Structure formats: C-alpha cells, structure tokens
Structure 1
Amino acid sequence: MLEQLIQLARKNQDISVLWLYGSRADGSFHLHSDYDLAIAFNHFLTDPLDKCLRPEMLALEWQSALQLDEKTLSIVDINHVSIVLAYEIIQYDTVLFCRDDVRLWREENRIYSRMELDITYNMRIYA
C-alpha cells in the first residue's frame, strides 16, 4: 500500500513532500487502521474553502484509484494544521516521498521554530 501511495504522490506535480504519521508510522496499527498522511503542496491556495477541500478531495481521489473503502486515507495539508499536529507529524520522521529536499528542510525548520516560539517557550514561562 505504501508503495502505491508513493507512486500516486510522484504522479501529482503539486505534491512536494508526503509524510506518514499516526499508528501506521509508529507500528501500533491494527487491521482496520486508516493511513494518516500529511502533504506539503507546491501551490498555496488563497480561498479558505479550497484550502480545506484540497486534502479531502485528494483522499477521495486516491481511495478511488486504489479501490479502498471510504475513510481508509486521512490527508491533511501540513501548512493548515495546528502547530502541535504538524510537530507530531514530523516527529514520526516517516517521509514517504520528497520531490524537493529544500522544501522538506524548510517545513521542518518552520515547524520546529514555531513549536519552540509558540508552545515550548510559553510552557516554560507560564507553566
């Protein structure tokens, strides 16, 4: 299944980086666990509805292409999730596909920096 997901990502020129996270990444999955995927897209959308729908529509497209049951794939845009979830995603360190190493590096640095500035710093000061 992972190889099929990698091939789908490779065919989609709008995908820069594809991560696997959650139970499938840490090995705690069971037979009916979904695949949690995060994507760094190449093109940034401005319309809020389009931003929200893009990963959902991609999940439906990939499920159809792979003949999977509904809800088998869960896809998020790593640039439009909470910093805590983004941090969790990169902590799994399971990059399935990377078209651009510099983009991967930038995303990880952005997330580590925001986690440090927005969360960790405030926890040290106010906890």
Structure 2
Amino acid sequence: MISEIIKKASQQADIAALWLYGSRAKGNATIKSDYDLAVIFSKYEHNPLERRLRPETLALQWSDQLGLNTDQLSILDLEVAPIPLAMEVISTGKLLVNKDPAKEMFLTQKIMSKWELDYQYHYRHYG
C-alpha cells in the first residue's frame, strides 16, 4: 500500500512532499491502523475554506482510488497543522516523497523554530 501511496503523491502535481507518520511510521501498527499522511502542497491556498478542505478531499479521492475505507486514510496539511503535531510528523515520521527539497527544508525549519520559540522556551522556563 505504501508504494501505491508514493506513486500517487509522485504523480500529483500539487504535492511538494509527503510523510507517513503515526503507528505505521513507528513500526507498531496493527491490522486496524490507518495510514496517517502529512503533505506540503506546492502552492499555498489562500481561501480558508479551500485550504481546510483540500487535505480531506485528497484523502477521500485517494481512499476511493486505493480501495480503502474513508477512515483508513487521513491527510494533514503540514503548513497549517498545529505545531506540536507538525513537529511529531517531521521528527518521527518518514519522508516518502520530496519533489521540492527547498520548500520542504524551509517549512521544516520554520516548524522547528516555532517549536523552539513557542514551546521549548516556555517549558524550560515555566515547567
């Protein structure tokens, strides 16, 4: 299934990078585990509704094309994800597709900087 997901992401023009995260990336998945994916889209969607629906629409399309139930595949837009979740993706996930290394590096550095500034600083100083 992972190779089919990689193929889909590689063929999708609006995907710059794709990660697998969660139990399947950590190696402790069960047969009931879903596929948790995070993407960086090639272009930022400025319309808030479209931006919110884009990963969900993609997940529905891919679930249908891959023969999965809709609850077996979830897609997260890494650019708008909460920082703790985004940090989890880039630190424990597996980068499966990287069609734009510069964009991927820029976003991962941005996430790590926000993590350091917004979370680690407060944790160290205020427990």
Question: What secondary structure, in the 3-state scheme, does the structure 2 residue paired with 1:88 have?
Answer: helix
Contact 2:26/2:93 (<8 A) preserved: no
Q: State the identity %.
A: 41
Root mean square deviation, CA, Å: 0.9
What runs of 5+ residues in structure 2 fail to find an aligned partner?
none
Compute the TM-score of the two structures, normalised by the length of structure 2.
Answer: 0.96
Structure 1 outlier segments of 4+, above 2 Å: none
Structure 2 CA distance for aligned equivalents of residues 67 and 22 of structure 1? 21
Q: What is the SS of the residue equivalent to 1:79? A: coil
Residue 93 of structure 1, CA deviation: 4.2
Structure 1-normalised TM-score? 0.96
Distance 1:73 1:21 in 2: 11
**Aligned equivalent of 2:65:** 65
SS, match of residue 53 in structure 2 = helix
Distance 1:50 1:102 in 2: 25
Counterpart CA distance in 2 for 1:35 and 1:93 is 12
Give the match for residue 89 of structure 1: 89
User: Within 5 A, what are the aligned runs for 1:28-39?
Assistant: 28-39=28-39
SS of 2:40's partner is strand
What corresponds to 1:75 in structure 2?
A: 75
Instruction: Supply the distance in 2 between the matched residues of 1:59 and 1:52 (Cα, whole angstroms).
Output: 12
Q: What SS is found at the alignment partner of 2:20? A: strand
Residues in 2 aligned to 1:31 and 1:66: alpha-carbon distance in whole angstroms = 16
Count of equivalent residues: 127
In 1, Cα distance between the equivalents of 2:29 and 2:8? 22
Structure-1 residue corresponding to 2:104: 104
Determine the structure 1 residue equivalent to 2:122. 122
